Amino acid sequence: MTDTARTHLLLHDIDEPGLNTLEAYERRGGYSALRKALGMGREDVLEQLLESNLRGRGGAGFQMGKKASFLPKGSMDKYLVCNADESEPGAFKDRELMQKNPHQLIEGIIIGAYATEANRSFIYIRGEYELQADILERAVAEAQAVGYVGEGILGSDHTLSLVVHRGAGAYICGEETALLDSLEGKRGNPRLKPPFPANQGLYQGPTLINNVETLCNVPHIVRLGAEGWAEVGTSSSTGTKVVSVSGNVRRPGNYEVALGIPTRDIIEGLAGGAPEGRRIKFFFPGGSSSPVLTAEEGLDLPYDFDAMAKAGSMLGSGSIIVVDDSVPVVEVAKKVAKFYAHESCGKCSPCREGTNWTVKMLERIDTGEATPMDIEIMASVQDQIIGHCLCVLGDSMAMPIGSMIVKYRDEFEAHIEQARARNGLGPPVPEAETVALAGAAADTGPK
Amino acid sequence: MDSGGRVKRFQHGSRVPGWDDSVDLGKDPAPVPEPAVTPVPEALRAEIEGYMARYPDRRSAVIPSLFAAQRHYGWCSPEAIDQVAAVMRITPAYATSIATFYDMFETHPPGGHDVYVCTNISCSLRGADELYLAMVAAAESSEDINVRGFECLGACDLAPMASVDGVYVGPLENSDAELIVEDVRAGRPVLEHKQLARRRVADPAANSDDFPATTTIPDTVPAPQAGPPTPPERGHGEATATEDEPAQ
């Protein structure tokens, strides 16, 4: 964290008043990367994206350049869709990027579309982000007025339309194929893959789908050159990452860091650690769908794609949710399970039923009706969801819940016992003891 | 469906009045409404047609069109659904299937103002469940305030937070519930000092200067864009659905 100009690309001077207008963005050198890209030729831009090793910031971490290179060549309608349906609990980085610097995203979309020869682009933004959608719509209108979007952009052969499309409140639409269905005007149900969107996506045409933050990085890659951009970060996790830290920390918010810095520096350094007098118990390293890491195992890991995967979790969207020692793990599990049960689209049985039954079992724990055997059953339900559905929504619940059961089994058991006692059900008295007590009672006699 | 009061499930045993209204197996499914007998307000028709022109496939406009109808009528009433269907040339059943899938469409007449309290994990770790109860209590006597617990609204840095008629406010104290109700009743901007639009980025190293904490908000939402630069025709691939039937 020595050179803030290199570690703060996306958030640099983000609070400058009026940065969301074209005038201020251009004054700061905006759209110069677009001019540079248009002068480079499509293949060279794609080559730069490949070389930068930019990995998707939306969750999967797939290389953006590689994904872009999967699109077939040739003249046909191709689509670029920006996934701005940020609905993962704990994620709010795209919101800040779109609200305060919309032109950075638009420039990234135009360059990304140029590299892949896409002629139509869409920003699918979640319906709740009304302020951000208004700002984006105005920014797109500004860009259109000066010819950054439209036919023959800046005298080149690049033609692009850009539409801001608002969703209407469905977490599942953040899944790329469900997003495409929703954009086509259907219910947001995931599709079977393959075919992958690169071959058959929106309106059955080749489609590149990328997250907001991924596309926001594109102008910087062109501006700095792939090598210059990739100087920051680790060899397999290049660049910077906007990390959303929330939950039990003193300073929740978005922080941009070089990938690979110690997780402790983010949670305890930047976000201030747990509130006074409390200790960090565990955290979700990549949104509520990532398996939890305990403070002991997770805080000293480098924060990058590979280290998180190796620890059995994932970087995901880069959203850290911190839970301190005052919160029972069962409560967290219940919140997570309820969310995914509510948001399951209902298409695949393991997800629809598995999420619902997990909620019911967790509620049984609270009413004291559960037995330690329920933990076994709950763990097996999670195992039966993972990998058995069209999309990963079910997995998104099964992975964190499964990891909580493994790592906090004792607490689950204690919680069950306490709930039984609290609800007057008491621990079942073992048979042998009952006999002995009955005998003893007869001997002492009633007073 | 009965457009009137919401009947709680099981409130009347299994015989909830009207529960089988829609199941008339002898009846043909509703066709695409006849434009001649389905009057649509001119402004609404123009808006929907504007949306249809933005996409290569007119059916993509169904979400924006339902939003337009919802803005016009306050909710997705059966009449609103019929009108959207008539302009877009889809069946009312198809429009209903969309309106019932997405959380932001109201298929019952709601209160006049929406207060969505996020009760997801990051907010509940910071007291959102109590805030929700306080909000419900504060709005109890206000018929026109519709308080809902909502899934993550993507503002965990403001936790606990709420979206009041689309405006994000936070971090909230339980006592803010009363203030929100007062502001909404008085028609004032809600808790101005706690609005997201005024919040600075948390990262202290992001800004090279000490900018004042304000964000310009567009005064007006631009009208739907005129047609895309390329003619709005299907490029390739077969239509994902036939004219009037939803796919699959």
How far apart CA A197 and CA B9 sit, in angstroms, is 41
What is the mean predicted confidence (pLDDT) over A190-197? 92
Question: Which domains are present in chain A?
Answer: 10-229 (3.40.50.11540), 240-324 (3.10.20.600), 329-422 (1.20.1440.230)
Closest chain B residue to the Cα of A342, Cα to Cα: B151
| pLDDT tens-digit readout, A69-126 | 999 998 899 999 999 999 999 999 999 999 999 999 999 999 999 999 999 999 999 9
Q: Is A253 near chain B, with CB under 8 Å?
A: yes
In chain A, which among 24-53 make CB contacts under 8 A with chain B?
none
Chain A residues lying within 8 Å of B201, measured CB to CB: 11, 14-15, 96, 100, 253-254
**Greater pLDDT, A438 or B111:** B111
Residues of B in contact with A186 (CB under 8 A): 59, 98, 246-247
B240–A204: do the CB atoms touch at under 8 Å?
yes
CA A54 – CA A68 distance, rounded (Å): 11
Q: Do A159 and B230 make contact, defined as CB atoms within 8 angstroms?
A: yes
B32: Cβ contacts below 8 Å, ≥ 6 apart: B85, B86, B89, B90, B91, B244
pLDDT above 80 (res A266): yes
Per-residue pLDDT, B228: 39
A91 and A57 Cβ atoms separated by less than 8 Å? no
Q: Which of residues 45-64 of B touch A (CB under 8 A)?
A: 54-57, 59-64
> Which residues of chain A does B64 touch, with a Cβ-Cβ cutoff of 8 Å?
165-166
Give CA separation, B149 vs A339, A342, B130, B136, B152, in Å.
Answer: 11, 12, 11, 10, 10
Determine the pLDDT at residue B103: 86
Instruction: At B216, list the tokens.
Output: 């310009």
Whether residue B103 and residue A169 make contact (CB cut-off 8 A), yes or no, is yes
Domain B113-198: top CATH class: alpha beta
Strand positions, DSSP E, chain B: 11-14, 113-118, 145-150, 162-164, 167-169
**pLDDT at residue B214, as a whole number:** 54
Model pTM score = 0.85
- Name the strand (E) or helix (H) holding A322: strand A319-324
The answer to whether the Cβ–Cβ distance between B63 and A254 falls below 8 Å is no
> A94: which chain B residues are within 8 Å (Cβ-Cβ)?
154
Show me where the domains of chain B are located. Answer: 29-101, 113-198
Q: Is B216 on the interface with A (CB under 8 A)?
A: yes
pLDDT in tens, chain B (248 residues): 444 455 454 444 445 555 556 566 677 778 899 888 889 999 999 999 999 999 999 999 999 999 999 999 989 999 999 999 999 999 999 999 999 999 889 888 876 888 999 999 999 999 999 999 999 999 998 888 989 899 899 999 999 999 999 999 999 999 999 999 999 999 999 999 999 998 999 999 998 888 876 544 544 444 444 433 333 333 343 333 333 333 33
* Cα separation, A14 vs B17, whole angstroms: 56
**Is the CATH number 1.20.120 carried by domain B29-101?**
no
Q: How far apart are CA A292 and CA A311, in angstroms?
A: 10
The partner residue sitting opposite A254, judged by closest CB among B157, B168, B240, is B157
Average pLDDT over residues A341-357: 92
Handedness of CA A238, A239, A242, A245 (dihedral sign): positive
Whether residue B208 lies within 8 A of chain A, CB to CB, comes out as: yes
Total beta-carbon pairs less than 8 A apart between chain A and chain B = 247
Per cent of chain A over pLDDT 90 is 84
